[in-house]
Structure 1
């Protein structure tokens, strides 16, 4: 199928983008990489009257280190995947990017586009939650910052209003000597949408026990979610404790009520949630062992 008729704009500045969104409101739809929107338009699941292509707004692309890691919304996923800045400041993000679709998707798909689309099975929203990212949102009233915990509202819905757009994503820089991270997902084939996935970020004290933990799951609700009970259960423990990953996985899955579809039952997703959390924590533990062996 082909998309319904629409009017196309390609602004070359943030100011022009804000003006176009203000003029067209709910009729306008932003195009970043198009890896989600264009297929939806071709199937006529999305029929925007106005398409605003962000490809010409060069200031929205790029990766910058300014204490934190700042990634422009239209930065290609492929560029972030090979970035030394991302590898150093947010290794969990880099690991997860390798699971996003296929190389062709990552060559066109953008970091901000995936986050703003807010697919509950997508990797990057879970990573944003696990890393405590914040989102810079631009609109007619200027720029505002929204924490990841407040950004994802429900299925394909975020805190971005119709007259606003996502400009930057800011990830706090990790401290390699104290931070550990793990990512795991299960899909039918590599590159398929994940059935369930987990992103885990751990901060260790000088004694080596867990002083902060963030555990995020995808594919188990109408959006990526943090599992606060599992996070609390990790505090004060050492990653070397043999039974810890399995215990935390069981806690993470205990209260879940995942959706079901033709790909997987609710119970299957719940069972897999425990496994991916366990494996992500094993990755954190392996990282600790590797560092101690240096």
Structure 2
């Protein structure tokens, strides 16, 4: 019934409300199964690619896509038609994020894109060809579109998943993305609200993961050192408050530091090398998390 509404022009005014309801329904397995059964992916694609639709309507369609592709769901195998429509979906969502008139619209579009990059690496290749890195780096500088840790979480998720591609490193260097990734290592909550702190942790962790992966490229590693990545990684390893006492952030920062040390060892003090790079990862982890007693 909800998709019947979204397929009839006479109900255009109801599209946003119907789509919002669909996003709620699709948080359970049966909802996604029914969506697939009635060719819901095709309908969502039609809405997102129709520039005659209002931005609000396309944003609600993006919210449904974000819901049904959530990496937290274990039953997305029902989305057999998703691959068939993926290029059109990725193109439309990237365009929506680029042209978003508000932070909310950008968040919905980028969240859908981020989730899609978990489903299939082909989406990452598509995004690379579509100049997604340039679009995302530009968005990071636009406070009207990207004004929260939640939005930066989506951006850095996309970059982390794209970082498996060799060409990604040079593109990020070209678009001044190295400095932006390092700035994300400084993500802090201004509210103290648990959800905000969690979002900050994710931003720090994923930016460190992306830095670690891309530092296999010598040009990228050199740029990271130039923008003082190593001192910040060391600070995050040694100061629990700086990483919100997150063990996930600590592991990611140690991994990034070790990767950079193989290509740019001159950026490390002897003590940092001896404690954070030279030992086994688990030993450095225990040292930094004050868990040496675990060995006793």
TM-score (norm 2): 0.29
In our comparison, the structure showing a higher alpha carbon Rg is 2
Higher helix share: 2
Structure with more relative contact order (C-alpha pairs < 8 Å, separation 6 or more): 1
